[in-house]
Amino acid sequence: MRIVAGFPPGGGPDVLARIVANKLSGLWGVPVLVNNKVGAAGRIAASDVAKAAPDGNTLLMGHINALGIAPGLHPKL
Output the tens digit of pLDDT for each of the chain's 77 residues: 999 998 899 988 899 999 999 999 999 999 999 999 998 878 889 889 999 999 999 999 987 776 778 778 877 76
d(CA 50, CA 58): 9
Domain spans of the chain, in order of start? 1-52
Report pLDDT for 39: 87
The reported pTM is: 0.84
User: Angle 68-74-48 (CA atoms, 0-180°, nearest 5)?
Assistant: 70
